[in-house]
C-alpha cells in the first residue's frame, strides 16, 4: 500500500490566543472567537478563507464546532472534534495536516477553548464526576473501586511508582515547576508569574501524596488556536511558516497508562526495562535528539515532564530526576522545556498554548524568553504522541 510523505508538506501559518485567567466570566465560544480571530490576523487570512476546523474540547466546558461555525459566520468544508482531553492536541494538528494535503480543506483552525467560570459547579474527580465513574474507569486512570477518583490520583500513582523504583524524591521533582515558573515570569499572558523556590514547593501542601499543590496544573479559562495549511500556501502568507516535519500518533493498549511509558508497571502494564529506541517522529523529521533546541510537553502534573523525557530517550529510565537539575531545562540550559510556563504556570489550555509558544519561538517572537537560534522544536508527550516543528 502506497503512503504519502507528510514531512514539511504542511505548516502552521497563524497562531493566536485569548487572555488566560481563573475567572474571566466569558463563554467558551467568546474565548474561541478571540483566539481564532487573532490566529487569522497573525496569518493574514480572512474569515472567508478558513474552511476547516478541529476542536479538541467540547461542551459543557468547551466550545463545539457546530456552534462555533454558524455563530462566527464561517463556511467550513470539513470539521471534526475530539473527546474532551488535552492529549488530543497533537492528533488534531496531525489530522489537519492530512486534511489539507488531501485537499479536503485549505486552511484548518485547530484549537482548544474552555471556561470554568461560566459553569456553576465544574466537577473533576470525586463523587458526581461521571467520567471518573464510567465503566472500566476514567480517562486519567480513575477507578472508584480503588479510590482513584481524580486525574491527580493517577499521576500520583505514577510518581510513587517512579520514586520507589528509581530512588527519586519530591525535592528533585520540584525542579520542574520551579523552572516553568521562571519562564512564566517572562510571559505577560501567564497567570502565575511570582517566582517560586524548591523550598516553596516543599512547603506547599500535599494534594495526593506524593504530589504537592505546586505539582498540579492551573484550572482556568482561555483559548488558543493554530492554523494549519500546506507549506506552499503558508509561504505566501503574512508570517514565516513553521513547518511540520515529524508526526507520531497516540498509541494504545494494555501497556499504555495515560501518565506513564510502557514497562513502569502501572495499572495493567507489565514491568520491564523500557528502551526508547528511535521513535518514528525522529525518523520522519530526519533529526536526532542533538538537533532539538527545545522540548514542550503536556505538564498537567510535574511528574509528566520526567516521563516524557524518558519516553522519548532524552535520558534513560530513572535518569530524568538528575537530568532536570541545575537549570538544564531552563532558558539558557541544555534543553529548555515549556518556555511559556506550561500548564503549571501559564495556564491550562489543553496544551494549545504550548503550540502557540512553539510557533512564536521558531519565529523569534518571544522577547526575553526567546531561545537563541531556535530552529527545531519538539512536542513530545508522556502519552507517546509527538510533533517536530522547524522554521
What is the pLDDT tens value at each position of the chain, 391 positions in all?
456 789 999 999 999 999 999 999 999 999 999 999 999 999 999 999 999 999 987 666 778 888 899 999 999 999 999 876 778 899 999 999 999 999 999 999 999 998 887 665 555 555 555 555 555 556 667 666 566 677 888 999 999 999 999 999 999 999 999 999 999 999 999 999 999 999 999 999 999 999 999 999 999 999 999 999 999 999 999 999 999 999 999 999 999 998 999 999 998 899 999 999 999 999 999 999 999 999 999 999 999 999 999 999 999 999 999 999 999 999 999 999 999 999 999 999 999 999 999 999 999 999 999 999 999 999 999 999 999 999 9
| Rg of the chain on CA atoms, in Å | 20
Give this prediction's pTM: 0.94
CA pair distance 206, 200, nearest whole angstrom: 12
Cβ neighbours for 216, distance < 8 A, ≥ 6 positions apart: 152, 207, 300, 301, 344
- Residue 260 gets which letter from DSSP? B
From 317, 216, 209, select the one nearest 265 (Cα to Cα): 317
> What is the torsion angle, in degrees rounded to the nearest 10, for the CA atoms of residue 166, residue 167, residue 171 and residue 172?
-40
The cell for 31 is: 474565548
User: What is the number of other CB atoms lying within 10 angstroms of the CB of residue 179?
Assistant: 28
Query: What domains does the chain contain, in order, with CATH numbers?
Result: 10-121+217-390 (3.40.47.10)
Amino acid at each position: 500500500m502506497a503512503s504519502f510523505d507528510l514531512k514539511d508538506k504542511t505548516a502552521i501559518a497563524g497562531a493566536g490566543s485569548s487572555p488566560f485567567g481563573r475567572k474571566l466570566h466569558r463563554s467558551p465560544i467568546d474565548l474561541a472567537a478571540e483566539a481564532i480571530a487573532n490566529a487569522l490576523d497573525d496569518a493574514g487570512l480572512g474569515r472567508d478563507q478558513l474552511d476547516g476546523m478541529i476542536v479538541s474540547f467540547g461542551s459543557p466546558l468547551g466550545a463545539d464546532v457546530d456552534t462555533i461555525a454558524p455563530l462566527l459566520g464561517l463556511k467550513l468544508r470539513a470539521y471534526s472534534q475530539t473527546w474532551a482531553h488535552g492529549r488530543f492536541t497533537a492528533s488534531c494538528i496531525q489530522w489537519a495536516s492530512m486534511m489539507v494535503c488531501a485537499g479536503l480543506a485549505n486552511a484548518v483552525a485547530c484549537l482548544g477553548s474552555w471556561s470554568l467560570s461560566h459553569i456553576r459547579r465544574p466537577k473533576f474527580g470525586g463523587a458526581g464526576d461521571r467520567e471518573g465513574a464510567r465503566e472500566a474507569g476514567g480517562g486519567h486512570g480513575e477507578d472508584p473501586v480503588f479510590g482513584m477518583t481524580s486525574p491527580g490520583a493517577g499521576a500520583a500513582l505514577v510518581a510513587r511508582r517512579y520514586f520507589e523504583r528509581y530512588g527519586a524524591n519530591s525535592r528533585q521533582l520540584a525542579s520542574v515547576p520551579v523552572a516553568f515558573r521562571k519562564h512564566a515570569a517572562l510571559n505577560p499572558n501567564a497567570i502565575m508569574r511570582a517566582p517560586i523556590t524548591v523550598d516553596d514547593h516543599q512547603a506547599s501542601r500535599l494534594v495526593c501524596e506524593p504530589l504537592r499543590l505546586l505539582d498540579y496544573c492551573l484550572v482556568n479559562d482561555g483559548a488558543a488556536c493554530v492554523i494549519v495549511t500546506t507549506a506552499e500556501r503558508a509561504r505566501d502568507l503574512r508570517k514565516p511558516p513553521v513547518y511540520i516535519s515529524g508526526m507520531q500518533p497516540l498509541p494504545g493498549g494494555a501497556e499504555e497508562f495515560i501518565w506513564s511509558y510502557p514497562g513502569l508497571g502501572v495499572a495493567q502494564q507489565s514491568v520491564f526495562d523500557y528502551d526508547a529506541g528511535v521513535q518514528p517522529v525522529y525518523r520522519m523529521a530526519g533529526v536526532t535528539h542533538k538537533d532539538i533546541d527545545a522540548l514542550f510537553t503536556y505538564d498537567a502534573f510535574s511528574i509528566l515532564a520526567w516521563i516524557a523525557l524518558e519516553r522519548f530517550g532524552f535520558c534513560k529510565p530513572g535518569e530524568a530526576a538528575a537530568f532536570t537539575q541545575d537549570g538544564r531545562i531552563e532558558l539558557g540550559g541544555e534543553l529548555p522545556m515549556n518556555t511559556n510556563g506550561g500548564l503549571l504556570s501559564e495556564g491550562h489550555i489543553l496544551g494549545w498554548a504550548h503550540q502557540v509558544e512553539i510557533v512564536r519561538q521558531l519565529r523569534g517572537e518571544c522577547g526575553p524568553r526567546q531561545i537563541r537560534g531556535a530552529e527545531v522544536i519538539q512536542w513530545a508527550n508522556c502519552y507517546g504522541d509527538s510533533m517536530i516543528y522547524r522554521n
